[in-house]
A and B are shown apart, each in its own frame.
Chain A
Amino acid sequence: MTQPDEYQMGLSSRKAIYIPFPQAVPCSYILDMEHCLGNNPIACGKCQDVCEKQAINYDDADEVITREVGAIIVAIGLDVYDPTEMDEYGYTRYDNVITSMEFERLICAGGPTAGHFVRPGDSQRPKRIGFVQCVGSRNPKIGRPWCSNICCMNTVKDTLLLADHYPDVENVVYYQDIRAFGKSFEDMFQRSKEAGTRYVRGLPGDVEENPTNGNLLVTVENTTSGKLERHELDMLVLSVGVEPPKDLAKISGLLTLSKTSDGFLMESHPKLKPVDAPTRGVYFAGFCESPKDIKDSVCQAGAAASRAGALLNAGKITIEAITSQIDAESCTKCGVCARVCPYGAIQWKKGEVAVVIEAACAGCGACGAACQFGSITMRHFTDAQLVAQVRAIMAEKPKEKVMVFACNWCSYAGGDMAGISRIQYPATNRVMRTMCSARVSEDMVLEAFRVGAPIVLVSGCHYADCHYINANRQTVQRVQRLWNKLEKAGVRPERLQLEWISAAEGQKFAQVMKQMEELRQTVTDEEIAHAMEALKPKPKKKPKPKAEPAAAAAP
């Protein structure tokens, strides 16, 4: 049984029982159960026969190991760009077009050719080798606008290796810009040029293969001379970019992490907390935060370890005093708060007063907004405080303002990002911060309309990114109920808006604020006056509201 060897980029093969590579840690054989025939002992089972130590167990199963930890470092690395979609370079059509990762294996003494650098097409040593930079980087047309950071210097290194191994080699590098900014990088770049490497400013527009000898004909506009050039090469290396790892979505979901617009992990602050996640106790190291080379990865790993170590050394953490408190006297024992708590931090049994387990409460405020009886106090974000803020904001000229409720972690931070990026939008919005959008109660929204707000926006984290597990599902349900209420009261439901804006989406925050302002201008004085009247709180109903159906039927 043989399979393509993943470590060698498929340039050689391995068996179904193998050591991934000679320096592997741990350096022991593994079974590829997908292709092992021993799973069915009648078909094979040879490795078990010859293993004297009887170390092979075809029936071994995965095991779940549980560990309690106080700090987490996310270092999940990167994926390498697959250039298949960039068909103009002929990667899938021509044997002698390879990626920079395949180059690494071909030039490595531990590689499939024992370090003899040959063309995959005919096993001949190439003399004229071209390198194309920015394949899958700095290319907004294919949705990859970021610089991958490492490819320029990796190519400079490759040209030096080739010149060192084969003095007669003729290297040519096609580039947009050479970014040789690090310590001793410029020196390496100059050495590459001194070794005879030609650097042509311009990316190839077309690559064709000569079918008789497998050579490649590259057409490129040299943007320095302004002339079209045609080069015949023996081999073309695509200097492929990098991208956020596919596993990132899963990990960021587990740890409630945010991503920047290019999909890498979003740090707590770009300058002041570059290795901290917004979630306390979680830190970043390496590529998953942004493209960086080995030295920078090692530096960041040291910083992350230092931050995590400080937390572990302290041995304790203070919890912000924003937790929920239940007033046992007014609690009606309904249990709604326990049902909406994403953390199971409220204990309740039928017929009993609900009790908050403070250490488990994260302070989202979903319970506070859901309690119909005012029995829950969210410390530092009380109903009275938040309603007072709404009233203060709308005290003068309310019709000129858009009332915005923004959650601390995403939407409010998205507003901060718009500020940091200096993205302009109309000055008519008034943002109020709550920890979670689920903290915004029906009454807070209605109060904003009662005091004359033309538009109210409730904004929170994207659905899967909620920092309180899934508290923002309560937000959705509440806003839907409010839309129904507004419609029944003859208030245009569009006057209440719901938007998800992440911490990285400064652009979206500004865009939403522009939309809100456009919407605000459609609201008439009559509409505002009607809402102020129609949404007035009804006098408290009598304990037994038997007359209600009749009242509802009245004209």
Chain B
Amino acid sequence: MSPEPTNGDLRVGVFVCDCGLNIAGTVDCGAVTAYAETLPDVICAVRNKYTCADPGQNEIKTAIHKHKLNRVVVASCTPRMHEPTFRQCVLEAGLNPYLMEMANLREHCSWVHPGDREGATAKAMDLVASAVAKARLLEPQEEMEVPVTKRALVIGGGVAGIEAALELADAGHPVTLVEKEASIGGIMAQLDKTYPTMDCSI
């Protein structure tokens, strides 16, 4: 496949995370960073020890300003964990948070291919290429806010449900507690004494 034509307005920065040895112990992060620099519209590629830590985030922010980046790729862990972190990071540097894309080099790569440095590195490169390809087509987005109904539902009237309902009610929230049996109390109500205090369950 021929690479997509470059677009002069696009300025992508790629940040490859070692995650200590979590990623770098298996993936050749230096080679992945060097590869990232060859991808279309990538202006800079930076390798960090811990991208999610303050120094790592500061490097992203500095690079956004220095290189006038308008797209960011973070190649680190699963977006299910740190996508909010890096969205906030680019937002603080003045970018729309939806102009950031992640490549999962840890959960989906280094942690599952520890005996295969070559294979894991080749895979990491592809995951970065995939993230850059998406990043080049990202658009700024605005999130919509919707109101939250100020009432909580607690399902189950055992010790956990009763406690949660009381806590919420004490904090001033209306609470509906539902229980399938005729009485609240749950299984705990059937116990005589409970450990470690040896006092009555109800």
Contact = CB atoms under 8 A, between A and B. Distances in A.
Contact of B164 (A75, A101, A318): A75
Interface stretch (A44-52, A183-191, A194-202, A366-374): A183-191
Interface string B153-179: 111111111111101100101001000
Given A77-B160, A285-B160, A312 B143 contact: no
Nearest to B102: A433
A393 B149 contact: no
A271 to B, nearest CB: 10
Contact of B161 (A75, A306, A379, A384): A75
Given A67-B176, A301-B160, A384 B195 contact: no
B156 A76 contact: yes
B144 A319 contact: yes
A226 B182 CA distance: 51
Contacts of A489: none
Interface residues of A, number: 111
Contact of A153 (B4, B81, B122, B195): B195
Nearest to A389: B130
Nearest to A154: B195
A55 to B, nearest CB: 15
Given A314-B148, A391-B133, A9 B190 contact: yes
Contacts of B139: 379-380
Given A312-B150, A316-B145, A319-B146, A385 B182 contact: no
B150 to A, nearest CB: 5
B194 interface: yes
Given A74-B155, A416-B108, A316 B137 contact: no
A126 to B, nearest CB: 17
B66 interface: no
A415 B108 contact: yes
B147 interface: yes
A105 B161 CA distance: 23
A287 interface: yes
A482 B197 CA distance: 63
A510 B185 CA distance: 42
Contacts of B192: 104-105, 107-109, 111, 161
A74 B156 contact: yes
Most A C-beta atoms less than 10 A away, residue of B78, B112, B144, B198: B112
B188 interface: yes
A437 interface: no
B74 interface: no
B127 interface: yes
A286 B160 contact: yes
Nearest to B118: A427
A319 B142 CA distance: 9
B113 A75 contact: no
Nearest to B97: A321
A433 B80 CA distance: 11
Given A75-B155, A380-B98, A25 B150 contact: no
A294 B188 contact: yes
Contacts of A379: 139, 141
Nearest to A510: B112
B133 A309 contact: no
B182 A20 contact: yes
Given A385-B138, A412-B80, A67 B119 contact: no
B7 interface: no
A75 B183 contact: no
A464 interface: no
Contact of B112 (A184, A380, A425): A425
Given A21-B189, A432-B130, A153 B196 contact: yes
Given A75-B156, A104-B191, A424-B114, A315 B130 contact: no
A219 interface: no
Interface in A280-325: 281, 285-288, 293-294, 297-298, 300-302, 304-306, 308-309, 311-312, 314-321, 323
Interface string A25-55: 1110010000000000000000000000000
B144 A358 contact: yes
B71 to A, nearest CB: 12
B92 interface: no
B106 interface: yes
Q: Which 6 A-B pairs have the closest CB atoms?
A: A286-B160, A419-B107, A427-B119, A321-B141, A305-B167, A75-B161
Given A311-B148, A317-B148, A420-B111, 11 more contacts: A71-B153, A75-B161, A77-B158, A77-B186, A107-B192, A297-B158, A319-B145, A321-B144, A385-B138, A419-B78, A430-B126
Interface of B: 1, 3-4, 78-81, 98, 104, 106-109, 111-116, 119-120, 122-123, 126-127, 129-134, 136-139, 141-165, 167-168, 171, 173, 176, 180-196, 198, 202
16 contacts: A20-B183, A30-B182, A69-B149, A70-B149, A108-B192, A157-B195, A269-B81, A285-B164, A294-B194, A297-B160, A393-B130, A412-B78, A416-B107, A425-B112, A427-B109, A427-B112
